[in-house]
């Protein structure tokens, strides 16, 4: 199934997707890193910083898969079982658990009615109804509050979006809002935001990762070797760049021009600096 909530899209990204298998396309707009307020890195980023982006991107991909297949497992019995409820996933002891429930009006309790648990792989889940409604006051409560405040800030939208929540340091929550895939073999890139939210539901940081959504279908009869796009909002690849690579079937590497450097997001999600880009005088 295609999951998504309807919330507001961002505005325009200077985003080029080129097919390296044929010939990389030139792109419109300002050069990466040219946006006012974006400081260019004087030296390549530390390996630890790139590894952290990879880790968040991989977790986002796993979350997306768990939410997708966990939701399907619950709806196998009755498509209306969790209608109107929020799904939230969490990795516990190496396995994903997806719960379904509602936040009460006071925001003090998240009532869980169903859950789906990962089996052999992140694409295989078994679902069960809770014999008695569970009241969570830990991660799932914090996550539900974080989702509500992020959605309120983001606004309404003209297309389906997905939401993911991942643990952040100091009991904070990352909330990702990114466009849902609506067409086979067309993987949207852009229009995504990451929020950092406190346990009590306060937005601490809002990071617009990309702006306008670009959806490019692969050319018929041609094998795509890699994709390419430029960033204007950051001098680094984003978590969703890693997610974009991993979510493709099969995964395809992505070259990202950001600030002074060209990066490659490899098919396993790892990131390496390819070269320093020449700047126009």
pLDDT single digits (tens) 68-109: 999 999 988 677 778 889 999 999 999 999 999 999 989 899
pLDDT digits (tens, 9 = 90+) for 145-154: 999 999 999 9
- Whether residue 216 is predicted with pLDDT greater than 90 in this model: the reply is no
Contact 60, 176 (CB under 8 A): yes
Q: Tens digit of pLDDT for each residue in 140-193?
A: 999 999 999 999 999 988 899 999 999 999 999 999 999 999 999 899 999 999
Per-residue 3-state assignment (H helix, E strand, C coil) for 93-160: CCEEEEEEEEECCCCCCEEEEEEEEECCCCCCEEEEEEEEEEEECCHHHHHHHHHHHHHHHHCCCCCE
Pairwise CA distance, residues 244 & 189, whole Å: 7
Q: CB of 174 within 8 A of CB of 168?
A: yes
pLDDT tops 50 at residue 11: no
Which range, of 33-42, 52-61, 227-236, averages the lowest pLDDT? 33-42
Binning pLDDT at 50, 70 and 90, where does residue 223 land? confident
In this predicted structure, the answer to whether residue 260 has a pLDDT above a threshold of 70 is yes
Crossing angle of helices 47-77 and 239-247, in 10° steps, is 50
pLDDT at residue 56 in the model: 98
pLDDT tens digits for range 106-132: 989 999 999 999 999 999 999 999 878
Q: What's the whole-model pTM score?
A: 0.85
């Amino acid at each position: 199934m295609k999951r998504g909530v309807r919330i507001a899209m961002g505005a325009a990204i200077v985003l080029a997707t080129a097919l390296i298998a044929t010939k990389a396309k030139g792109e419109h707009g300002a050069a990466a890193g040219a946006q006012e307020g974006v400081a260019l890195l004087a030296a390549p980023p530390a390996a630890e910083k790139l590894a952290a982006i990879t880790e968040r991107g991989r977790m986002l991909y796993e979350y997306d898969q768990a939410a997708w297949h966990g939701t399907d497992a619950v709806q196998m019995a009755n498509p209306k079982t969790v209608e109107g409820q929020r799904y939230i996933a969490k990795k516990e002891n190496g396995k994903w658990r997806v719960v379904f429930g509602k936040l009460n009006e006071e925001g003090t309790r998240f009532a869980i009615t169903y859950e789906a648990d990962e089996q052999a792989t992140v694409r295989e889940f078994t679902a069960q109804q809770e014999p008695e409604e569970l009241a969570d006051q830990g991660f799932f409560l914090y996550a539900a509050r974080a989702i509500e405040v992020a959605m309120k800030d983001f606004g309404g939208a003209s297309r389906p979006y997905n939401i993911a929540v991942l643990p952040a340091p100091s009991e904070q929550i990352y909330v990702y809002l990114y466009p849902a895939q609506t067409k086979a073999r067309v993987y949207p890139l852009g229009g995504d935001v990451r929020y950092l939210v406190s346990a009590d539901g306060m937005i601490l940081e809002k990071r617009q990762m990309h702006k306008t959504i670009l959806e490019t279908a692969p050319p018929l009869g041609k094998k795509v070797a890699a994709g390419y796009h430029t960033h204007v909002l950051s001098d680094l690849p984003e978590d969703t760049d890693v997610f974009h690579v991993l979510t493709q079937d099969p995964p395809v590497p992505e070259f990202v021009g950001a600030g002074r450097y060209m990066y490659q997001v490899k098919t396993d999600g790892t990131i390496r600096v390819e070269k320093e880009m020449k700047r126009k005088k």
